[in-house]
Structure 1
Amino acid sequence: MTVIRILPHAALCPEGKTISAAPGTSVCEALLENGVAIEHACDMSCACTTCHVIVREGFNSLGEADETEDDLLDRAWGLTPQSRLSCQAIVAATDLVIEIPKYTINHARENH
């Protein structure tokens, strides 16, 4: 099992959290399965940016983002070079440290 440490997020996990996930699981699935209610408006189909995370440690273990993910990330709030859509970031054997950005952009909920 791979250890994922989630940095504190005021609304989703104020104290931060450490969870385990099987390699091959998406970061989004791992968060949801462990009680971290990250938004995922497109039901993990790589069609929005609501599950955007910043991978503070272990980024290179996730494999490369495809063109669709890269295009979507360009619209994410708080984009960094270590940003990924958690629904597309597949856990490998390397432990991860994840930051969930303070804000997310949900075009459907915000009537865009």
Structure 2
Amino acid sequence: MAQISFIDSSGQTRTVGGEDGATVMETAIRNGIPEIEAECGGACACATCHVYVDPAWAEKVGKPQPMEEDMLDFAWEVQPNSRLSCQIKVTPDLDGLIVRTPARQG
């Protein structure tokens, strides 16, 4: 189980365990992480699970696929390290992952 730290827009950190094969979004929802709305339930059809991947983790997480890039156009304050958490699969390699949530979604 990979440990994932979510830092909200006020700076509060919550570290939770993510099951291998789940997504970072599913992990957030299961653990009541604030500022992750996930309105589409992980279908990559909205931008309400937007996160900023910590720069130290960008290479391991990888770049967004074209469909995700299109949906990021609807996200709030997109940055180069923006991702939709529904598109990041939890793996043992992501143990220690740090993501930040924007003050608002979509």
Residue ranges of structure 2 left out of the alignment (5+ in a row): none
What is the aligned partner in structure 2 of residue 3 from structure 1?
3
Unaligned 5+ residue runs, structure 1? 106-112
Structure with bigger helix share is: 2
Deviation readout 1:25-48 (Å, 9 max, x if unpaired): 100001111121420111211111
CA contact (8 A) 2:8 2:103 kept: no
| Alpha-carbon shift at residue 85 of structure 1 (Å) | 0.6
* Equivalent residues in 2 for 1:22-33, closer than 5 Å: 22-33=19-30
Q: What's the TM-score, normalizing by structure 2?
A: 0.84
- 1:59 and 1:25 map into 2 onto residues whose CA distance is 19
SS at match of 1:87: helix
Residue 61 of structure 2 is matched in structure 1 by: 62
Give the TM-score, by structure 1 length. 0.80
The answer for the alignment partner of 1:19 in structure 2 is 16
> Which protein has greater RCO, CA pairs closer than 8 Å, 6+ apart?
2
Q: In percent, how many aligned pairs have the same letter?
A: 35
1:1-112 matches, within 5 Å, as 1-10=1-10, 15-37=12-34, 38-56=36-54, 57-92=56-91, 93-94=93-94, 95-105=96-106
Residues 63 and 90, structure 1, Cα contact 8 Å, conserved in 2: no
Q: Deviations over 1:69-106 (max 9, x none)?
A: 0111122111111111111111222221110100112x
- Whether the 8 Å contact between 1:62 and 1:91 is mirrored in structure 2 is no
Bigger radius of gyration, 1 or 2? 1
Aligned length: 102
Could you say what secondary structure the match of 2:86 adopts? Answer: coil
